[in-house]
Amino acid sequence: MAQYRLSISGMTCDHCAESVEAALNALPGVTAEVSFETGLAQVEAAAGIDPAKLIDAVKARGYAAQLVTDPAGPATGGNGGKLHIAIVGSGSGAFAAAIKAAEAGATVTLIEGAEVIGGTCVNIGCVPSKILIRGAHIAWQQGHHAFEGLPRQTPTVDRRAMLAQQQAMVAQLRHAKYERILESNPDIHLLRGWARFASADTLIVSRPDGAEETVQADRILLATGARPAIPDIPGLAGTPFWTSTEALATDTLPEHLIVVGGSVVALELAQAFLHLGSRVTLVSRSTLLSREDPLVGERLKRCLEEEGMHIHLHSEPRRVHHENGRFTVTTGDGEIRGDRLLLATGRRPNTDSLQLAKAGIETDRRGAIVIDDHLRTSVPHVYAAGDCTNQPQFVYVAAAAGTRAAINMTGGDATLDLSVMPAVVFTDPQVASVGLSEAQARQRGLAVDSRTLELENVPRALANLDTRGFIKLVAEADSGRLRGCQILADQAGEVIQTAALAIRKGMTITELADQLFPYLTMVEGLKLCAQTFSKDVAQLSCCAG
C-alpha cells in the first residue's frame, strides 16, 4: 500500500470535507480521511494507483488538490500556494470575477482572443449606443421641442464628428475600467488567444501567432458573451447588411434604414437614426417588446409612428436582394426599399468554439451554458457568467454573476437572485420594468390588482410638456404587496429603481403611497399611481400627501 497526503483548497465546511472523502473512497483500492480543519487528505492506496487519479477525483467535486511531499509543509493549493482561476473572456462578468478572485488571494489568467479587451458593453454595446442615442435625442429636440419662444431648427448632423467623439469615449472608458486594472493588479494576467476545452480542467489556447498553449486551473469561469444572431433569410448572405456593431460604427447616415426586429436593440437604434434624420422602416415578426406588458408596446408604437417611423408588425422578411447600393426586402406586406438594412433579431451565445462537450458542460437548445443559482455549470469546478449563459442578457447581471462566481470559486457561498431585476429600454420615451407584469402574475396563480396612471396626472410630466406614457403598478389583491411595475415615460430608467427597492423590501401599495416623494420629479408618479388604488388622484391638489 502507498501513503499519500493531499492538500485540499476550496473547502468551506465539514460537508465539503465529507464530499471529498466520499469521492476518494469511491476509487478502487483507496481509503481516505479528509479534514476540513487542516485542509488535508490522508490517503492509503493500493500499489500502482496513479496519484493523478486522486487529484482528479477531488477536482471532479469542485475543489483543488495537490500532493504534499513535505509532511510538515503548509496545506495550501497549487500554483505556489495560490488558487489558480482561468477566466475565458474579458468583459464585465470576466473582470468582475477577476477582481474579486484576486482580492480573495487567487491568481487569475484572463484569456481573450479579440483585439481589444472589455467585451461587448464598453466596446460595441451599452456605451457607444447610449452616446449615439443621447446625441440623436438632442438633435431631435432642436426641431421638435414643445416650448414656445424657443426657435425650432433642424440641425446639420456631422456623423463623422459624432463617431470620433463616441469612440474616444469608448477608448477612455476601456482604459479606465479594464486596461488600467490589468496594469495595476499583479495577480491578474492576460493571455491573448482563443480557448477551447481539452478536458474538464485543461484549456488549449490558440495564440494569434498560431502557437498553442495549455492552461490548467483549479477553477474555470466561462464569460465569453454573445454576438448578434443572423436570421436565415434567402438572399441575405453576401450582402452588406448591418448588425448593431456596424450600425454603431458607421460614419454616414442612411437615407432610408430598414430595421428587422422588435426588441431592445432594434428599437433603440431605429429611433436614434430616425432622430438623426434618416427615414426608418421597422419590420417585426411580433409586437414591439413582446415580452413586456402589451400596453407598453402599443403605446411605444404610437409614439414612434407620431415621429414618422413606419412600423410593420407580425411581418417577416421573406427575401433580401441587394443591387447598386440598395436593399429590397420582400415581406408579407410587400417590398421595402432602402440603402441600409439593420438586423437586430436577438443574440446568440459565444460557446460554439469552446468544445464544451469535451468537458461535459451542458447547454440549452440555443447553445447557452446552463448554470445554477451559484453560477456553477454541470461540471462542479467550472462556472459561467453573462450572456453566454441561460441568464438574462444584461451587463449588470453579468457583472453581478461574475462577482458571485468568484466568491464561490474561492471558497465562499454566494447566490444570484434575479427575482427583482429592473430593465430599461433607452427609447424616447424610455421603457422600464421590474418584477411581474399583470399577465405573468396571473400565470403564476396570483390574484392581483393593478392601476395605470397616465402621465397627464404627473406634475413633472406636465411641466416638461411631455405627457407621453404611463406608470402601471401590479399588487397582490389581498395583501396589497407590490409585485411589479411597468413604465413608459421620459426618465423611466431613473424611476424604476425606486420601484425595484419597494418590491425587494416587500412594501405594500399603501406604504408606497404614504412615502414622501419630492415634488416635480418623475419618480413622484410612483406615489400617485399607488394612490390610485384607493382614490381619484385627479381630485387631489398638488403635492397631496
- Alpha-carbon span 128 to 451, nearest angstrom: 36
485 is catalytic: no
542 is catalytic: yes
388 is catalytic: no
SS (H, E, C) 130-182: HHHHHHHHHHHHHHHCCCCCCCCCCCCCCHHHHHHHHHHHHHHHHHHHHHHHH
178 is catalytic: no
- Alpha-carbon span 445 to 337, nearest angstrom: 47
CB 412 within 8 A of CB 106: no
Bridge partners of 347, per DSSP, are 228
Which residues contact residue 436 at a Cβ distance below 8 angstroms, ignoring those fewer than 6 apart? 444, 446, 448, 474, 483, 484
What 3-state DSSP class applies to 197? strand
What stretch of H or E contains 320? strand 317-323
Sheet holding 219-222, edge to edge: 188-192, 107-112, 84-88, 219-222, 382-384
Catalytic: which of 1, 4, 11, 309? 11
Catalytic: which of 1, 4, 16, 409? 16
Question: CA 241, 242, 243 angle in degrees (round to 5)?
Answer: 130
Catalytic: which of 126, 169, 303, 421? 126
Q: Where are the alpha helices (DSSP H) in 262-293?
A: 264-275
152-159: long-range contacts (C-beta < 8 A, 24 or more apart)?
Answer: 154/277, 157/253, 157/276, 157/277, 159/250, 159/251, 159/252, 159/253, 159/276
Cell numbers given for 144: 421638435
CA-derived radius of gyration, the chain: 27
Count how many Cα atoms sit within 13 Å of the Cα of residue 359 in the half-sphere of its side chain.
32
Torsion angle (degrees, nearest 10) of CA 191, 212, 10, 66: -130
Phi, psi of 382, deg, nearest 5: -110, 125
| Amino acid identity, position 342 | L
- Alpha-carbon span 530 to 544, nearest angstrom: 13
Question: Using the 8-state DSSP alphabet, how is residue 360 labeled?
Answer: T
Which residues contact residue 122 at a Cβ distance below 8 angstroms, ignoring those fewer than 6 apart? 92, 170, 173, 174, 177, 178
- Alpha-carbon span 292 to 302, nearest angstrom: 16
CB 463 within 8 A of CB 402: no
11 is catalytic: yes
Residues constituting the chain: 545
Catalytic: which of 1, 4, 63, 519? 63
SS (H, E, C) 362-413: CECCCCCECCCCCCECCCCCEEECCCCECCCCCHHHHHHHHHHHHHHHCCCC
Residues acting as catalytic residues: 11, 13, 16, 63, 121, 126, 542-543
